[in-house]
């Protein structure tokens, strides 16, 4: 393969998530070795300790010994940049002079891979450092507070918490607070009966339901009284009529949160199963990278082939064709968010042969993309 104009033999290998992990030295792993507050200042080490990761590390060290160039192909987000830097650190410990380049891509398709090879860049140290900072904060805060509150509460309640671990996480703990708050609201809710008037008028196939200005009352006798008044004089008089224009905006291009909301609302899928399915479709080359905060299509992305592929569908293919012929080509509504890493989620190739949960998730991506054009 031609790499920057030079024919090269390429060897591909892979990792599985983070290769290295942060931890305190063995001296301070015992809970009574230091006061919890010291954990905010003690040095931490980034090492490869998990058994399955050690084997991956050995593979990298073996392959890089005779290599002249290392190209990082991890996901193009913050976590991917940090994992890429971990690979670089492992490889440079064996081959310190190896040249490192970064491939940036958002979909696993031939054009995207070839474009990434033609535009190889440098790996971002600042983005990787930001992830290291977050990981170190998670470790220090989690370890310090977990030790502090566990030892404190075990001492205060030895009978009930003497052998319990009271874990603390900087994200999990506030989330648990929201869950408990909502649980208490549901538990303390007292149901109360109410009554309302419902007026419906229908002429042929036109059906109108009128809303009562008072909406509902909690006194049944009063509502019955109003109902009797209405029955005594069943002919209604239109006292006023006014109208105002209403616009129905096209949906914005899909980001991760909107994909999860759409999948949950329309398909009744959980956020976890939506993302698992989306990542599977991504690795199979059907959709772009599903973890993105972007709802703006970049100007350099050619949307015509994407819409053209959807004209084969018997459900929205006709509409996709109109976008290309009658509407002057795709002109997507643009949002205001971008993570500067990935475009909005979109189909990368057409398929009508998917099965199981792959089908609805792919439909969300395809139909949502066509609608926003």
What is the C-alpha to C-alpha distance for residues 253 and 297, in angstroms, rounded to an integer? 8
Residue 112 makes CB contacts below 8 A (sequence gap 6+) with 105, 106, 348
Query: d(Cα 253, Cα 345) in Å, to the nearest integer?
Result: 7
Cα–Cα distance measured from residue 197 to residue 108, given in angstroms and rounded to the nearest whole number: 57
Catalytic annotation present for 168: no
Residue from 366, 297, 369, 302 nearest 337 by CA:
297
Rounded to an integer, what is the distance from CA 171 to the centroid of its chain?
16
**Residue 71 · residue 122 · CB < 8 Å:** no
Here the tokens at position 103 are 């491939």
HSE-up of residue 102 (Cα within 13 Å, Cβ side): 20
What residue has token string 């018997």? Answer: 314
Q: Are the C-beta atoms of residues 100 and 70 closer than 8 Å to each other?
A: yes
| Options 1, 28, 168, 289, the catalytic residue | 289
Q: Are 84 and 74 in contact (CB under 8 A)?
A: yes
Contact assessment for residue 366 and residue 347, using Cβ atoms and an 8 Å cutoff: yes
Write phi, then psi, for 255 (nearest 5 degrees): -105, 180
Return the SS3 of 45.
strand
* Cα dihedral value 320, 326, 329, 331, nearest 10: -90
Q: Which residues pair with 254 in a beta bridge?
A: 345
Cα(252)–Cα(365) distance, integer angstroms: 12
Active site residues: 289
């Amino acid at each position: 393969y031609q790499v920057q104009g030079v024919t090269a033999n390429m060897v591909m290998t892979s990792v599985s998530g983070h290769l290295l992990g942060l931890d305190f030295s063995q001296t301070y792993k015992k809970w009574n070795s230091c006061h919890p507050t010291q954990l905010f200042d003690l040095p931490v080490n980034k090492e490869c300790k998990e058994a399955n990761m050690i084997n991956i590390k050995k593979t990298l060290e073996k392959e890089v010994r005779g290599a002249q160039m290392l190209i990082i192909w991890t996901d193009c987000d913050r976590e991917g940049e940090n994992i890429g830097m971990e690979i670089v650190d492992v490889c440079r410990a064996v081959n310190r002079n190896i040249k490192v380049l970064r491939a940036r891509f958002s979909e696993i398709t031939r054009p995207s891979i070839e474009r990434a090879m033609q535009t190889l860049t440098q790996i971002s140290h600042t983005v990787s450092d930001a992830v290291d900072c977050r990981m170190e904060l998670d470790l220090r805060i989690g370890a310090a507070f977990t030790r502090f509150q566990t030892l404190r509460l075990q001492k205060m309640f030895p009978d009930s918490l003497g052998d319990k671990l009271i874990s603390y996480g900087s994200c999990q703990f506030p989330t648990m607070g929201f869950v408990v708050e909502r649980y208490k609201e549901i538990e303390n809710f007292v149901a109360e009966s109410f009554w309302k008037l419902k007026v419906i008028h229908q002429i042929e196939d036109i059906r109108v339901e009128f809303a009562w200005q008072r909406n509902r009352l909690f006194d049944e006798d009063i509502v019955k009284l109003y109902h009797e008044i209405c029955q005594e004089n069943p002919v209604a008089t239109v006292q006023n009529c006014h109208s105002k224009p209403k616009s129905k905006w096209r949906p914005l291009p899909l980001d991760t949160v909107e994909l999860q909301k759409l999948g949950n609302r329309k398909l009744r899928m959980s956020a976890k199963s939506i993302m698992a399915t989306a990542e599977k479709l991504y690795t199979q080359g059907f959709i772009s990278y599903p973890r993105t905060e972007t709802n703006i299509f970049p100007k350099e992305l050619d949307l015509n082939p994407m819409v053209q592929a959807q004209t084969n569908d018997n459900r929205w293919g006709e509409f996709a064709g109109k976008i290309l012929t009658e509407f002057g080509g795709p002109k997507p509504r643009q949002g205001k968010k971008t993570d500067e890493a990935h475009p909005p989620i979109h189909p990368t190739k057409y398929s009508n042969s998917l099965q199981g949960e792959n089908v609805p998730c792919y439909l969300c991506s395809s139909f949502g993309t066509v609608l926003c054009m």
